[in-house]
Structures are given as C-alpha cells and as structure tokens.
Amino acid sequence: MSATTKKAAKENILQAINRALADAMESDDSVLVLGEDVADPEEGGVVGVTRGLSTRFGEQRVRSTPISEQAIIGAAIGASLVGFKPVAEIMLMNFTTVAMDMIVNHAAKLRFMSGGQTHVPIVIRTMTGTGFGTGGQHCDYLEAWFAHTAGIKVVAPSSPRDAYGLMRSAIDDPDPVLFIENLPTYWLPDEPAEKGFRVPLGKANVLAEGRDVTIIAYARMVNEAKAALPKLAEAGISAELIDLRSIAPWDQETVLASVARTGRAVVVHEAVTPFGVGAEISAVLHEKLFRQLHAPVKRLGGAFCPVPFSKPLETAFAPQAADIVAAAQALVAA
C-alpha cells in the first residue's frame, strides 16, 4: 500500500485536542495556551493534553500559571480584549467554581455590555467525569450552570474527530466557549480528523438511524448509548442515536425532526438529573411535539448527590447502557 493511500492511524481524544491546539497555534499567532502545569517541564498538564506545545511554540505562548483559577481566567479575558485568542485550562470542572465571577460576570457579558464592540474569544478547557474514584469535588458535570448563562457556548465531544473539530471551531469563535473533556474517554482510540476539520458549534450528529425511539446524549453517555443499541436491536427496537456535541446552543432542529419521526425520546447525561440539560430538552420536546409524542420524554442522569468515592456507588451514580436499554424498552411498551 502506498503512502498516499495508507489509512491514517487512529488517535484518542487527548491526542486529538493536542493536535487541534498545535494546528491552531501554527496557523494563528494570536492563539495562546495557559493554565496550571501546561508547559513541557510539567509534562503538558495533568494528563498531558498540552505536551510538546511549549517546546514547539515557546513559553510566551504556552504559559504555566500559578494555582489560581481566577488568575487564569482573568488573564485570558484580558488577553482576549487586546487581540489574542487564549485557550485557558481549568484542570477540573469543579474548579470553575473558583472563577465563576470571571466567567459569568465578565467573559460572558462584556460583549453585551459594550454594545457588541468588544468580543471575548476565549476557550476554557476543563475535564471531568466519573470512573476514576476522584470523589465529589473533582468529577461533577456542571454544564447546566454555564448553558444557563447567556453569552457562553458549551460543547462536549465524545470522539477524537469531534474533539479536534469542536476545538478548532471553539478557537475560531468570537465568544467564550466552555470545552468539556471527559476523563475516562481520553484514551479511547478512533478515527482521526483531517487537519483543519471543523465541527460547527450548535450542530448535532446522528450516529445511528432508527424508527422507534430517539436517544439523545453527549460526552461519555454517547458510548453508553452505543453499547445499548445492539441490546435494543435484539429486543426488536430500532433506536436513533443523536450525539448532541454542543450543549449551548443545542441543535433543536435535528432533535425535533428525529423525535417527531420516532415519537419517543430518552435524554441521557452524566450530570445529576434535576435541573439538568435533559430537563431543558424534555421541556422543548413536550412544548413543540406534544401531540406527536407516543409517551412522555424520559430523562436519565446522575443521582442527586455528590459523586461517591466508593467504586460500587460511583458506578451506580451515573447511567449505564443497561439503564438506557430499560428506559427505551419502557417507552416503546407504553
């Protein structure tokens, strides 16, 4: 097989984000990276997402910071106001709470408060996710907080290809984007994106077509939903799977069209169920498709409690493939 026809090697999400950052920095000198331990002497962050970038682009553009989330976001906002495109890493999503004032009162609102004259083109990278026993202060999904804030876009990839494409689009965007990375899926290999590939923000992806029920998910729950599809097929249920990819804005057009056709929907996320993204999607589906639904929309999410440290309890906390199968079967039988 010639070099021109040889299939590209698979990559994981960690590698895809690293490559997206490198490609963006190569093509645009205004792209910066900052955060705790992101430079190479500290191995490019806690899991190595930014490994090699400071060696390649210099520590003026890839800057390790003190342990201060407020300083990281404040510096990123300030840099964005003078023409840079900072990618700021907040190591874990729970730690965004330390910088909430900077994020929701400054980054999200400066464009509005300046009458559209000032943009804040920052990307806030952060990771989270259950599965590693990191406890209640390290693995919450808090996306609903930020999706509720006007002026912030929120994305959550489930595959290396989408991670690359969403990161490139997030860096291009003139507004702040919260980029949520799922820790347990970092090392799962899949097909890579070609250089320069973009995933439009706000556009979902239909991963499997079906006629009986629509499953709507994002981040790691897409993998759980994929695992549920063969079990549902064995039970004679044809399920359509939508990877939301963007949480804010979310792709109402694609989701509504699918649920209008199947008449049933399961919305699944790792965040706690009450007041979550699933509640918003469910409300819109009921408001706009009330007479076309064969059964009420089913929400699946985490238990309404801090994430347990105990491995058995942690496993029980978040939805699994079996829960998705049971929910879909119950809807079809209703």
Query: Using alpha carbons only, how large is the chain's radius of gyration in Å?
Result: 20
Residue corresponding to tokens 């609903």: 144
Sheet holding 265-272, edge to edge: 205-208, 239-243, 213-217, 265-272, 298-302
**Can you say whether residue 203 is alpha, beta or left, with left for phi > 0 and alpha for psi between -120 and 50 degrees?**
beta
Q: How is the chain split into domains, by residue range?
A: 3-190, 205-333
The DSSP secondary structure of 103-143, one letter per residue, reads: IIIIITTHHHHTTTS-----EEEEEE-SSS---TTT----H
Across 262-288, b (16+ Cβ under 10 Å) vs e yields bbbbbbbbbbbbeebbbbbbbebbeee
In which element (H, E) is residue 87 found?
strand 85-92
- Over its length of 334 residues, how does the chain's per-residue pLDDT go in tens digits? 444 445 568 999 999 999 999 999 999 999 999 999 999 876 788 899 999 999 999 999 999 999 999 999 999 999 999 999 999 999 999 999 999 999 999 999 999 999 999 999 999 999 999 998 888 899 999 999 999 999 999 999 999 999 999 999 999 999 999 999 999 999 999 999 999 999 999 999 999 999 999 999 999 999 999 999 999 999 999 999 999 999 999 999 999 999 999 999 999 999 999 999 999 999 999 999 999 999 999 999 999 999 999 999 999 999 999 999 999 999 999 8
Position 46 scores a pLDDT of 87
- What's the rounded Cα separation, in Å, for the pair 242 and 219? 11
- Answer CATH for 3-190 from 3.20.20.140, 3.90.930.12, 3.40.50.970, 3.30.70.270: 3.40.50.970
Sheet holding 153-155, edge to edge: 62-64, 31-35, 85-92, 123-128, 177-182, 153-155, 246-248
List pLDDT tens digits, range 184-218.
999 999 999 999 999 999 999 999 999 999 999 99
Strands 239-243 and 205-208: antiparallel
In three-state form (DSSP H/G/I as H, E/B as E, the rest C), the secondary structure along 171-189 is HHCCCCEEEEEEHHHCCCC
The first and second tokens of residue 288, run together, are 């706009």
Residues with a known catalytic role:
69, 138
Across 174-208, b (16+ Cβ under 10 Å) vs e yields ebbbbbbbbbbbbebebebbeeebbbebbbbbbbe
Position 7 scores a pLDDT of 59
Fold of 205-333: Rossmann fold (3.40.50)
Contact between 42 and 76 under an 8 Å Cβ cutoff? The reply is no
List pLDDT tens digits, range 39-49.
987 678 889 99
Q: Nearest 10 degrees: CA dihedral of 133, 190, 325, 142?
A: 50
Contact between 201 and 310 under an 8 Å Cβ cutoff? The reply is no
Contact between 294 and 123 under an 8 Å Cβ cutoff? The reply is no
Contact between 93 and 127 under an 8 Å Cβ cutoff? The reply is yes
CA atoms within 13 A on the CB side of 181: 28
Give the C-alpha distances (Å, rounded to integers) separating 165 from 1, 24, 100, 242, 256: 28, 11, 27, 17, 24
